[in-house]
Structure 1
Amino acid sequence: MASEKKGNAIVETIKTVVYALLIAGVFRTLFFQPFWIPSGSMKDTLLIGDFLFVNKMAYGYSYASCPSVYLPQIGIDIDAADICGFLDGDNTRILGGEPQRGDVVVFRHPITGRDFIKRLIGLPGETVQMRDGVLHINGAAVELTPNGTFEETSEPQGPQGSRPRCENGPVGDGGACTKSRFTETLPNGVSHDILNIANQGSDNTPVYTVPEGHYFFMGDNRDNSADSRVPSVTGGVGFVPYENLVGRADRVVFSSAGASMLFFWTWRGDRFFEKIE
């Protein structure tokens, strides 16, 4: 009798775990996807180590709404297309909603399929160009206002140990790494901060015409972002198809400046539940 009860308890435990995984999978597929910020391309809007939930309901659903599981340490690489590939190919969405200029969006890279997070700058049919570091949309320069300096400590950041680039030149460990900050106001009135590090090739670009059904994305840390200014086949992002959008990032839930979220002394309490502008 005791062994029978023990066997039943094990079965019930297994069923509970399976049900919990199924519920978590449905929740992640339909509603919100967790996302860690791994790089500094969206500073100072998003910092390395910020943790957020992506709102998948904002734009409806496509094959990209299915989760990808990438754990190279243990050899796991399950792509969303492996699960929901039957929805791929027509550049449409179920219950689709239109993204707005200025949204901070998680999307699947058109070539690699990895998740990226950038700001939506250009809409279908529009032209986008950078001239002397100033964004032009449909030939008109956006409003740009100086907004002081962004400062951070020069040190390895996050689990990848990446070091920040600094406008004030190479800075030794523990030094103050600074970047000029500007407030950029897009044609629809959305304002956000951008950072400047140096004068470089990405500050002057050709005129890009966004194809129908596609979008143009840029990082807020303009000189440290692989985005739509560079074609996806040459290491950038290029134009992103509508069906590749995963969802909108609305709020930072948690933030840690350390190599692990377990290092509680590196938590950034002032960023918990901060709205993403």
Structure 2
Amino acid sequence: MAAYFSTFLVIVTLISGVIWALDAWLWAPKRKARLAAAKAKTQELTEEAQATILRESGVVETAKSIFPVIAFVTILRSFLWEPFQIPSGSMMPTLLVGDFILVEKFAYGIKDPVWRTKLVDTGEPQRGDIFVFKYPEDETVDYIKRVVGLPGDRIIYRNKQLYIQQACHEQTPCPQPELISHTEVSRGDFLQDGVPLLRYHEQLGEVKHDILINPLRPEPTAYYYQQPGTTEGEYLVPEGMYFAMGDNRDNSTDSRFWGFVPEANLVGRAVCIWISFEFDRKPDDFLPHWVPSGVRFDRIGGLE
């Protein structure tokens, strides 16, 4: 849907811009010429008659009205920031259902809004970033996860423990896989099917954040993506790709299940929550379930 909306914005901007330009360079001078000719024929041309001669068509008037606004929105949304809504709990506790976030579109390169060709290289994802990308198996769908593995990294996820062997370039010997340690914060702040979830502090690169683990849910290794040449739960990140995981580790469909995120699929980096709504309505409530039941003002701000 977001991709279609971007294309729609570009088309409307182009059409309204072309109409505005044609009027400025072609039609408006013709109207002024007709007015001058009418004045030459009679010296008693009323203001109403002059206004009628100079009057723009409805299409031109509409195009000139919407072009500045739609062009501004297109530039803002395509190259600077785009709003997204969090639809699922895969990034809990960092992001909750009902959070509305801003994504910095220029963080990983400036791309054209239709074909998504990179025009200017502005940076690359860093370990620990929260990023939005086009789901590799259906690029009409936007996903949001956390960057865990960079190109060349070896990622191991086994017994709900995360190990990272950073890319070995010219180092001798290569670094050993490092266990990303967890420090328990609490248990029971969040529930999954009535099971209290364990909340841990985790640090990826320079980023400190919290994750959730369901202690009663077995690891679904049978559904893990099997990369040729690696063992179960082990992934070697190819060049130009990234390994993504959700913070809600036992409730996230991520790179463990479908593989890697190509650089071409990157949309941008999530930078802040600009508003957060609660949707806590009972079946017998008068208002429909999609109407917010409250605003979580304490969640507004930057992301880690």
What residue is the counterpart of 1:173 in the other structure? none
Number of paired residues? 224
* SS of match in other structure, 1:201: coil
Partner-residue secondary structure (3-state), 1:121: strand
Question: Could you tell me how far 1:189 is from its partner in structure 2?
Answer: 3.7
Structure-2 change in CA distance of 1:252 and 1:58 (3 Å): same
Q: Which of residues 202, 205, 220 in structure 1 aligns to 2:247?
A: 220
Residue 182 in 1 paired to residue 210 in 2?
no
Letter in 2 for 1:149: R
**Aligned match of 1:107 in 120, 129, 133?**
133
SS of the residue 1:191 aligns to: strand
8 Å CA contact retained: 1:167, 1:179: no
Residues 118 and 93 (structure 1), Cα distance of their counterparts in 2 relative to 1, 3 Å cut? farther
Question: Normalised by the size of structure 1, how large is the TM-score?
Answer: 0.73
Partner secondary structure for residue 99 of structure 1? coil
Instruction: Find the residue that maps to 1:130 and give its secondary structure.
Output: strand
Separation in structure 1 between the aligned mates of residue 211 and residue 54 of structure 2, nearest angstrom: 60
Tell me how far apart the structure 2 counterparts of residues 60 and 257 of structure 1 sit (CA, whole Å).
34
Instruction: Measure, in 2, the Cα distance between the counterparts of 1:48 and 1:7.
Output: 51
1:18 to partner: Cα distance: 3.1
Superposed, 1:34-73 pairs within 5 Å as 34-62=83-111, 66=113
AA in 1 matched with 2:213: N
Structure 2 residue corresponding to 1:250, chosen from 266, 271, 293: 271
Residue in structure 1 matched with residue 189 of structure 2 by the alignment = 151
RMSD, matched Cα: 2.6
Deviation per residue, 1:6-40 (Å, 9 max, x gap) = 96495434422233112211211110111100110
Q: Which runs of 5+ in 2 are unaligned?
A: 1-47, 166-176, 225-231, 280-288
Structure with more contact order per residue of length (Cα contacts < 8 Å, sep ≥ 6):
1
Task: Pick the structure with more helix per residue.
Answer: 2
CA distance in 1, matches of 2:295, 2:134: 28
Deviates more, 1:117-126 or 1:194-203: 194-203
Is the 1:44–1:150 contact (alpha carbons within 8 Å) kept by the matching residues of 2?
A: no
* Structure label with greater radius of gyration: 2
Tell me how far apart the structure 2 counterparts of residues 16 and 117 of structure 1 sit (CA, whole Å): 36
Identity of aligned residues (%): 39
| 2:152 aligned residue | 125
C-alpha separation between the residues in 2 aligned to 1:229 and 1:4? Answer: 67
Map 1:11-30 onto structure 2 (within 5 A).
11-30=60-79
State whether residues 130 and 202 of structure 1, in contact with CA within 8 Å, keep that contact through their aligned partners in structure 2. no
Q: Of residues 261, 267, 276 in structure 1, which corresponds to 2:295?
A: 267
CA contact (8 A) 2:184 2:201 kept: yes
Runs of 4+ in 1 over 6 A off after TM superposition: none
Q: Is the 8 A contact 2:79 2:111 kept in 1?
A: no
Which secondary structure does the structure 2 equivalent of 1:224 belong to? coil
- Pairing 1:70-81 to 2, within 5 Å after superposition: none
Note the C-alpha offset of 1:196: 1.1
- Give secondary structure in 1 for the equivalent of 2:255: coil
- Change in 2 beyond 3 A, CA 1:93/1:131: farther
Identify if the C-alpha distance between structure 1 residues 125 and 20 changes in structure 2 by more than 3 Å, giving closer, same or farther.
Answer: same
Cα distance in structure 2, aligned partners of 1:22 and 1:6 = 26
The one-letter code of the counterpart of 1:165 is Q
